[in-house]
Structure 1
Amino acid sequence: MQPLQFLVPLDALEALAPVLPFAIFALALGNLVTRLLQHSRHRSQADPGDDDEALRRWLPHTATTLGLVLASFLFMIVEPHGGMVMSVLALTVFISDFFEFESRRVEARSKSKALERPTAAIGASVFALLYAGYQSLFFLIEPLWNSVI
């Protein structure tokens, strides 16, 4: 008997297990792209004369961030070690995105500074993308990895 047998349909999740790393990789890549697009939208929204209320979260970016977090939680059930690392990275992306949005609002309110790039959130997204790529595309480097290790 599995410990999460009654909470999560493990048989259905086992069927998704081979595809889940690729889905996480696609969400991490989409998150990085939408983050850059959201920053350009924020710069256009923060025109002189507007206040910080003009800045809005962009729905595709929020969807990729939440999808990345939820998919990494599902991956933790299938692959505990890799899923835990990916979940920590996905939560880091989520938290840094929240604080970076608030700092963009402060910059828009101050009018003396231009909006800076969300460097912490970009850095967290790059780390998440690299680890998701390692988890999903390991079969490409596996022969070289096994010969060295």
Structure 2
Amino acid sequence: MDPLQFLVPLGWIEVVGPMLPFAILVMAVANVVTRHLAHNQHVEQAKERDEIDQYFPHAFTNFGLLIVCLLFTIHHVTGGAILSIIVLTMVIADLFEFEARNVEARNDLEVEKPKSSIFTSGLVLVWTAYYALVAANLPFWEAIFA
């Protein structure tokens, strides 16, 4: 008996849980794409004015990726916790990188790529690809070793 079963109804997570690695992978790929689009927008905004704005689709994928990873933590504790820490690191790096781009825009410097965010999003992509591939190949391996 799960001690939280009376406080929080978590029965639905058992149904959705096996599909979460694929949802996380889709969100991670969308995050990489929106990161590229956000950087292009920041470069254009820095040329036109002294301030840059957050790119809403990228902020949405950051938040969505973090929420889906926390849901995955409920379903698969160890892998979800590791992935949530990496995604949280990516979100914090995004915040610092955005402020650094603002400083570059204010001081008329060249807007650099967000290197630490790119690295952490690569880690997220590799980790989610690993979980998605394991989840996709699980019936095959269970048939062989069962």
| TM-score normalised over the length of structure 1 | 0.88
Cα drift, residue 61 of structure 1: 0.5
Please tell me whether residue 123 in structure 1 is matched to residue 119 in structure 2.
yes
Q: CA RMSD in A?
A: 1.9
Q: Which amino acid aligns with 2:72?
A: F
Q: Which amino acid aligns with 1:125?
A: S
Cα distance in structure 2, aligned partners of 1:6 and 1:33: 40
Q: Which runs of 5+ in 2 are unaligned?
A: none
Give the % identical residues. Answer: 41
Q: Which residue of 1 aligns with 2:100?
A: 103
Task: Number of aligned residue pairs: give it.
Answer: 141
Cα distance in structure 2, aligned partners of 1:134 and 1:42: 32
Question: Are the structure 2 counterparts of residues 120 and 17 from structure 1 closer, same or farther at C-alpha, using a change threshold of 3 Å?
Answer: same
Cα drift, residue 39 of structure 1: 0.2
Within a 5 Å distance, the mapping from 1:1-149 to structure 2 comes to 1-47=1-47, 50-52=49-51, 55-111=52-108, 113-138=109-134, 139-140=136-137
Cα distance in structure 1, aligned partners of 2:58 and 2:107: 25
Deviates further, 96-105 or 39-48: 39-48
Cα drift, residue 140 of structure 1: 4.5
Secondary structure of the corresponding residue to residue 110 of structure 2: coil
Cα drift, residue 2 of structure 1: 1.5
Q: Which runs of 5+ in 1 are unaligned?
A: none
Q: Which amino acid aligns with 1:115?
A: V
Question: Are the structure 2 counterparts of residues 7 and 43 from structure 1 closer, same or farther at C-alpha, using a change threshold of 3 Å?
Answer: farther
Deviating 4+ runs (over 3 angstroms): 139-143
Cα distance in structure 1, aligned partners of 2:54 and 2:61: 12
Secondary structure of the corresponding residue to residue 137 of structure 1: helix
| TM-score normalised over the length of structure 2 | 0.89
Cα drift, residue 10 of structure 1: 1.3
Cα distance in structure 2, aligned partners of 1:26 and 1:62: 15
